[in-house]
Amino acid sequence: MVERRTLFGRLLPHLVLLAGVAVVAFPVYLAVVGSTHESAVIANGQMPLYPGAQAADTYYRTLFIGPGRTTREPVSGMLLNSFLMAMIIAVGKIAISILSAYAVVYFRFPLRMAAFWMIFVTLMLPVEVRIYPTYKVVADLGMLDSMAGLTLPLIASATATLLFRQFFMTVPDELVEASKIDGAGPFRFFKDTLLPLSRTNMAALFVILFIYGWNQYLWPLLITTRDDMQTIVIGIKKMIVTSDALTEWQIVMATAVLAMLPPVLVVVLMQKLFVRGLVETEK
């Protein structure tokens, strides 16, 4: 389809894309702007569209002191909690699922397919569905208000297991056989061949799972009560109180901006690997 397009015809796609970007970017811009004004300015209901002068002060207070009137927790602690939770969930999910996929694909053991189907079926049972029994178990194990309670129930992952299984099935059998002849046992084959080949897949999954962990809301809300166990997503919610007068909006905005940064950083830093993991099959 080679056609001479008019100026308008060439501009139109860009206009549509720009409109899309604006819709996505405007709220983010508002949050950034909001975090640079004094509390009173926003509380007045006059949200300015230009940056104010309070940025340094607001971010300092947000990170190290916390909103004076509501939660009083510095956001740096929440950031750390969220970061730890997202990391543990992402790394844990990848570790567990790559091992289970390895077992399901490369070993013959009794009830292998049964195990596979059981993993598969849990796809239908996300946290929200099994939240009561899961809460009960975690509570009985005494893991409320702990990092373990926050992350363990979220680590098992059928999706990641399935993805690794699909990938392993595309690895030629001859590689396993060549490894056997080269004297590499199951562990060596996993470490020397399968892991390096899965690198890009792991990177792609890591990005997705880190963001999944970072964005968790319902589960941390249930499981954490202590302020120092709070994640940043919960923290934002708690900063907003019904009475507008008490809400320090500039700090809420700053927290929102801070909450966006780590996922963005992860995506940006891992983008090259991430894209390769999605498109490339390096064999």
- For position 14 contacting another protein by CB under 8 A, the verdict is no
Q: Binder to another protein among 57, 145, 182, 244 (CB under 8 A)?
A: 182
Residue with Cβ nearer another protein (65 or 175): 175
Is the separation of the CB atoms in 36 and 52 below 8 Å? yes
Count interface residues toward another protein (CB under 8 A).
18
Query: How far is 202 from 180, CA to CA, in rounded Å?
Result: 25
Among 93, 81, 283, smallest CA distance to 206 is for 93
Q: What 3-state class would DSSP assign to 177?
A: helix
- For position 280 contacting another protein by CB under 8 A, the verdict is no
Q: Binder to another protein among 53, 111, 174, 279 (CB under 8 A)?
A: 174
Please state the closest distance from residue 273 (CB atom) to another protein, in A.
14
Please state the closest distance from residue 196 (CB atom) to another protein, in A.
4
- For position 178 contacting another protein by CB under 8 A, the verdict is yes
Stretch that binds another protein, among 36-44, 61-69, 71-79, 182-190 (CB under 8 A): 182-190
Say how many C-beta atoms besides its own lie within 10 A of residue 44's C-beta: 9
Is the separation of the CB atoms in 170 and 194 below 8 Å? no
Residue with Cβ nearer another protein (129 or 178): 178
Stretch that binds another protein, among 9-17, 98-106, 173-181, 210-218 (CB under 8 A): 173-181
Sequence-separated (6 or more) residues with CB below 8 Å from residue 43: 244, 245, 247, 249
Query: For the chain, what is the radius of gyration of the CA atoms?
Result: 24
Stretch that binds another protein, among 34-42, 141-149, 195-203, 208-216 (CB under 8 A): 195-203
Residue with Cβ nearer another protein (179 or 216): 179
Q: Binder to another protein among 188, 191, 237, 272 (CB under 8 A)?
A: 188
Stretch that binds another protein, among 50-58, 160-168, 172-180, 235-243 (CB under 8 A): 172-180
Residue matched to tokens 């905005």: 253
Q: What angle do CA 243, 248, 252 make, to 5 degrees?
A: 110
Burial class (CB in 10 A: 0-12, 13-18, 19+), 211: middle
Please state the closest distance from residue 199 (CB atom) to another protein, in A.
8
- For position 193 contacting another protein by CB under 8 A, the verdict is yes
Query: How far is 184 from 178, CA to CA, in rounded Å?
Result: 9
Residue with Cβ nearer another protein (65 or 184): 184
Is the separation of the CB atoms in 223 and 215 below 8 Å? no
Residue with Cβ nearer another protein (133 or 172): 172
Query: How far is 58 from 36, CA to CA, in rounded Å?
Result: 7
Q: Binder to another protein among 103, 147, 197, 240 (CB under 8 A)?
A: 197
Strands (E), the chain: none
Is the separation of the CB atoms in 248 and 264 below 8 Å? no
* Residue ranges in contact with another protein by CB under 8 A: 172, 174-175, 177-178, 180-184, 188, 192-193, 196-197, 199, 282-283
